[in-house]
Amino acid sequence: MEAAAALDGDETISFHALRPLIGAEVAADTSTGHVEGTLLSCTTRSAWIVVGDVDHVVALPQLLAIHRR
């Protein structure tokens, strides 16, 4: 399985699972919708995805699924 995948229940995607995706084009499902862009950075609390000129900072508990495009 890739670095992170769809999760069930109370599981969350970890910082360590996201690190290999930094710099990659990703598709992410969040609690507020779908985002496709470049994962620029992540911390233990959030992921920073850029789509064109728009920055999306997603709290890790709100990140439901992410994979390389």
- The answer to whether the CB of 46 falls within 8 A of the CB of 57 is yes
**Both tokens of residue 2?**
């890739």
Q: What is the pLDDT of residue 12?
A: 79
Instruction: Give the dihedral of Cα atoms 37, 19, 42, 25; nearest 10 deg.
Output: -10
Q: What is the pLDDT of residue 6?
A: 41
What's the chain's Rg over C-alpha atoms?
11
pLDDT per residue over 7-56, tens digit each?
A: 334 577 999 999 999 999 999 999 999 999 999 999 999 999 999 999 99
- When pLDDT is cut at 50, 70 and 90, the band that residue 59 belongs to is very high
Q: How many helices (H) and strands (E) does the chain have?
A: 1, 5
Task: Please tell me the pTM assigned to this model.
Answer: 0.82
